[in-house]
Amino acid sequence: MKNAELHRTHRIGWLRAAVLGANDGIVSTASLIVGVAAAEASRNNVLVAGLAGLVAGAMSMAAGEYVSVSSQSDTENADLEREREELAMDVESEQAELAAIYVKRGLDDDLAKQVAAQLMAKDALGAHARDELGISDTLSARPVQAAMASAGTFTVGAALPLLLVLVVPTSKLVWVVSGSSLFFLALLGALASRAGGAPVWKSIARVTFWGALAMALTAGVGALFGAKL
């Protein structure tokens, strides 16, 4: 007996939000710490800036994800309501429309009509949502789940460079936080690629490149303006 195939599409919703949150948490907080430390600020000032960045970033990520995914959910619900009305007004035309979709996918006319009729007999709206609108339970928008995943992982990601501020000498913060954060980003890229079934090294290169660029730019800004103030 053939074993059930392992697919990862059911992870898309929470995995995207989680990876985005953790990546932003590391990059934004580490960049903020590096920028402030490069301006030769005291440990307390760096710590306050990092904590403020953590709280503000987590709330921003949660709000952004919730609003964005809610908008997607609203669009999906509007499309479903319109489809429900069309099914109530003219079910035969809707069945023919569904059959035409199956013909385009490779079924012959008779078989397409049979498939459309049987699927609609069981769940007409579900069949049209899935095959006409591209909406399914696996990929449907879940605003609260996305917001919580994004905010939670942002906090975890931001806490990693922030903890270093407590234990690393101020004079070495820029280099230690930068190097450690790039390591954390590489680890995040590897974990995300394994969870999503993507190439590991490609994911690692992508997240570390943008993280290094962000920290380099903020360090430059901190050093430039810190020297002038």
Determine the pLDDT at residue 195.
67
The larger pLDDT score, comparing residue 155 to residue 91, is at: 155
**pLDDT over threshold 90, residue 48:** yes
**Domain boundaries defined on the chain:** 9-80+147-228
DSSP string, 91-119: HHHHHHHHHHHHHHTT--HHHHHHHHHHH
pLDDT tens figures, 112-150 = 889 889 988 888 888 888 888 877 665 556 788 878 888
pLDDT tens figures, 15-41 = 666 777 888 899 999 999 999 998 888
- 3-class DSSP state of 217: helix
Kindly tell me the burial class for residue 115, based on how many C-beta atoms sit within 10 Å of its own C-beta (0-12, 13-18, 19 or more): middle
Distance CA 10, CA 45 (A): 43
Average pLDDT, the chain: 83
Percent of the chain with pLDDT over 70: 86
**pLDDT over threshold 50, residue 5:** no
Half-sphere exposure at residue 126, Cβ-oriented, CA atoms within 13 angstroms: 8
